[in-house]
Structures are given as C-alpha cells and as structure tokens.
Amino acid sequence: MGCEWLYAIHEEYGYLALRNICFQILSLILLLTYVKDESDLLLYAWTTVAGSAGANLINFLRLRKYRTWRFSWQKHLLPILVLFANSLVNLLYVSADVAQLGVM
C-alpha cells in the first residue's frame, strides 16, 4: 500500500525523506507523550505502527497524481496467466526434487 517504489521511480527522494522525517518525529512525540512505563507496551506498538501506516497512507492518497493510464484486463490477462503458470511449474519442480529426496 505504501507504493514507495513508484516515488523512487519518479525520483521523488525529497518527498520520501520529508515524509519519513515528519512521521518519525510524530511517532517519537507520541512515544514520549503516552509511553511511560513497561505496562505501556501496547501503546508503544500502536504508535510505531501509526507512524509507518500514516506514511504509507499519505503515499497512497498522493497516487492520484500519477494515475494517467487505464489498465485493460483483456489485454494483460494472458501474460499474467503465463507468468503465474511459469512460477507454479517452477515451484512444483523445486518442491518435487526435495520430496523425492525425502522419499529416498
């Protein structure tokens, strides 16, 4: 959901760095405000997750800027199925080798 790869492709490293710094500072402020002792372990986990999830949510909401193309399932379905079948056959081949060695 974060789509950092898209922003890396478009070389928006300044945006990525600024977004990470802002959410890390927000997470640190929340940690220092709400986590007081060892019993606040769940609050610690939630503030850490909120920092990461918030950054990814901002990335996801900003994706509209790059949505200039339409995806056609009819055009891309056959290549997707070929790649899926290829990875399935590869997985079965590798697993069969290990299973045969186990039987021997």
| Mean pLDDT of each 10-residue bin along the chain, 104 residues long | 79 90 90 86 87 86 78 82 92 77 68
d(CA 27, CA 47): 6
What's this model's pTM, rounded to 2 decimal places? 0.56
CA 73 to centroid of chain Cα atoms: 23
Instruction: Sort 61 into a burial class: Cβ within 10 Å, 0-12 / 13-18 / 19+.
Output: exposed
